[in-house]
């Protein structure tokens, strides 16, 4: 049985550095991939003068990973790339500024459609839905981008399995990363893990403008935007500065989540953004041992809301352990087979068939 990313990272966390700490806690592991019995990763130091001193560490890391069950080969490269950025940046381009004037709503060059995935509150699985929906659309042959617009709490790098930093070779344009067939960008690719973004509204608005206009997205059929919870500056900026195809609102079935979902729907209405449909997440739970079906968060609340509003219910997604494990491992469940992947594939097919993606 192949090893996992978590097992590799746990092993690397035991590789102690000469000046203290370990490879994982010091954020030196880049481009980690596990393919069958082969593991590849890069050890990156920000001091070129220390690279030669770390060769024994590289050799120890390779030996430790090759000792893992299910691993026959480990490819470990040691690189040095100069000082680490102290603020969100793409190696020369700083992110976070006041927004600049714009003639009117416009999409980044080459992007046909923009879908906003929003919710009225956190904790309803919106980011999980956004990442899996992007992957499901890519599996249907669409050219897909994924923008993590949750500046305060970016989670897409983890969910999409991306560890390397974004780069800006010319200091003007940011080169995004590609994962699972999806072109992705997140401010999390410019931060140390655990580093907080402490900004007021104008800085957020400017950062979103940069992530839209200064990223080399290339030609895309659809850009999926993972919005933060609520109805604040990011949502306002996206709706007013781009030509949104529409919004998808995610909620769980219980009343306390639907109260806030209605606020998100009302916000999109006031901003002239069409709501393309609702998704009921964590709709049902089927016990993997006995097959009993339980509705932990209630059931059917989002469907009733969609009917009352006259908008489609795009899908009802189950609550399943596999979804959480896949997200934590950076391998969205929509990549595989089974009922969870089929549920996302069904939603993607509806969006493509309706000309929305």
319 shares its domain with 342: yes
For the segment 93-133, what is each residue's pLDDT rounded down to a tens digit? 677 777 777 778 889 999 999 999 999 878 898 999 999 99
Joined tokens for residue 18: 């000469």
Q: Are residues 201 and 314 in the same domain?
A: yes
72 and 122 part of one domain: no
* Cα end-to-end span (Å), the chain: 37
269 known member of a binding site: no
131 and 44 part of one domain: no
The least confident of 45-59, 123-137, 334-348 is 45-59
Q: Residue 38 sits in a domain of what CATH number?
A: 3.30.300.130
Residue 103 domain-assigned (yes or no): yes
Query: Are residues 187 and 150 in contact, defined by beta-carbon separation less than 8 angstroms?
Result: no
> Per residue in 74-92, pLDDT tens?
988 887 654 433 445 555 5
Looking at residue 41, its pLDDT comes to 85
* 124 annotated as belonging to a binding site for a ligand: yes
120 is in an annotated binding site: yes
Tell the burial category of 84 from Cβ atoms under 10 Å away from its Cβ (0-12, 13-18, 19+): middle
Strand partners, 278: 249, 313
Q: Is 82 annotated as a binding residue?
A: no
Taking a C-beta distance cutoff of 8 angstroms, is the pair 79, 46 a contact? Answer: no
- Whether 127 has a binding-site annotation, put simply, is yes
Among residues 54, 80, 106, the one where a domain terminates is: 80
**Same domain, residue pair 146 and 13:** no
Domain with 46, as residue range(s), is 5-80
Question: Is residue 99 domain-shared with residue 74, that is, in the same domain?
Answer: no
pLDDT for 199 equals: 83
Query: What is residue 80's predicted lDDT score, i.e. its pLDDT?
Result: 67
DSSP code string of 195-243: PPP---HHHHHHHHHHHHHSB---SEEEEEEEPPSSSSHHHHHHHHHS-
> What's the CA gap between 239 and 336, in Å, rounded?
33
Instruction: Tell me the average pLDDT across 289-293.
Output: 81
The predicted model gives 230-246 an average pLDDT of 91
Q: Could you tell me whether strands 177-179 and 182-186 are parallel, antiparallel, or unpaired per DSSP bridges?
A: antiparallel
Classify residue 86: in a domain, yes or no: no
Q: Are residues 199 and 306 located together in one domain of the fold?
A: yes
What mean pLDDT value characterizes the chain?
87
Give the per-residue pLDDT at 126. 93
8 is in an annotated binding site: no
Q: Which two tokens stand for residue 202?
A: 């104008």
Return the pLDDT at 89: 55
Strands 73-80 and 182-186 turn out to be: unpaired
Residue ending a domain, among 80, 114, 136, is: 80
- Whether residues 198 and 166 share a domain: the answer is yes
Residue 49 pLDDT level (bands cut at 50, 70, 90): low
Q: Is 141 annotated as a binding residue?
A: no
Q: What CATH code is carried by the domain that includes residue 214?
A: 3.40.50.300
The reply, when asked if residue 126 is annotated as ligand binding, is yes
Q: Is residue 115 part of a domain?
A: yes
Report field, pTM of the whole predicted structure over 0.75: no
Average of pLDDT values for 247-276? Answer: 90
């Amino acid at each position: 049985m192949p090893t996992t990313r978590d097992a590799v990272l746990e092993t690397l966390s035991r590789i102690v550095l000469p000046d203290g700490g370990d490879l994982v806690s010091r954020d030196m592991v880049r481009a980690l991939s596990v393919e069958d019995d082969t593991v590849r990763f890069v050890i990156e130091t920000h001091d070129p003068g220390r690279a030669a001193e770390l060769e024994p560490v590289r050799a120890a890391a390779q030996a430790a990973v090759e000792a893992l069950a299910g691993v026959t080969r480990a490819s470990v490269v040691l690189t040095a790339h100069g000082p680490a950025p102290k603020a969100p940046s793409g190696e020369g381009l700083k992110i976070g500024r006041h927004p600049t004037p714009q003639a009117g709503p416009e999409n980044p060059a080459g992007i046909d459609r923009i879908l906003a995935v929003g919710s009225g509150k956190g904790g309803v699985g919106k980011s999980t839905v956004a990442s899996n929906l992007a992957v499901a659309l890519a599996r249907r042959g669409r050219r897909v981008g994924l923008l993590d617009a949750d500046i305060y709490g970016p989670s897409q790098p983890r969910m999409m399995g991306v560890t390397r930093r974004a780069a800006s070779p010319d200091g003007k344009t940011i080169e995004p990363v590609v994962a699972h067939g999806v072109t992705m960008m997140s401010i999390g690719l410019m931060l140390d893990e655990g580093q907080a973004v402490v900004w007021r509204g104008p800085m957020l608005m400017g950062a979103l403008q940069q992530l839209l206009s200064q990223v080399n997205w290339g030609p895309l059929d659809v850009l999926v935007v993972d919005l933060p919870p609520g109805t604040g500056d990011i949502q306002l900026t996206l709706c007013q500065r781009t030509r949104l195809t529409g919004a998808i609102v995610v909620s769980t079935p219980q009343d306390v989540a639907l109260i806030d979902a209605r606020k998100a729907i009302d916000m999109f209405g006031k901003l002239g953004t069409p709501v393309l449909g609702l998704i009921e997440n964590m709709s049902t739970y089927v016990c993997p041992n006995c097959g009993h079906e339980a509705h932990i968060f209630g059931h059917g609340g989002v469907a009733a809301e969609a009917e009352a509003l006259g908008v489609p219910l795009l899908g009802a997604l189950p609550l399943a352990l596999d979804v959480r494990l896949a997200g934590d491992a950076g391998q969205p469940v929509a990549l595989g087979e089974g009922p969870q992947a089929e549920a996302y594939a069904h939603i993607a097919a509806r969006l493509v068939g309706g000309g929305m993606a």
